[in-house]
């Protein structure tokens, strides 16, 4: 369904948070918390 893309919408919300847009501070904190975990993946 081209009108129901929750992944795209969530990506935009994270981007707005990282850009410092008002109302998206919670999303910015989610990204910063995830980046601080420093998960290492090996394949």
- What was the pLDDT predicted at 43? 86
- Whole-angstrom distance, CA of residue 15 vs CA of residue 9: 10
Give the tens place of pLDDT for each residue, 1-43.
Answer: 778 899 999 999 999 999 999 999 999 999 899 888 877 888 8
What was the pLDDT predicted at 25? 95
Q: Which domain holds residue 22?
A: 6-37
Structurally, the chain folds into a number of domains equal to: 1
pLDDT attached to residue 39: 75
pLDDT at 37: 85
Residue 1 inside a domain? The answer is no
Secondary structure (H, E, C), the chain: CCCCCHHHHHHHHHHHHHHCCCCCHHHHHHHHHHHHHCCCCCC
Residues 6+ positions from 23 with CB-CB distance below 8 Å: 16
Q: Is 42 contained in some domain?
A: no
* pTM, 2 dp: 0.70
């Amino acid at each position: 369904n081209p009108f129901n893309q929750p992944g795209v919408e969530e990506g935009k919300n994270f981007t707005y948070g990282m850009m410092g847009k008002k109302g998206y501070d919670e999303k910015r904190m989610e990204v910063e918390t995830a980046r601080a975990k420093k998960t290492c993946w090996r394949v």
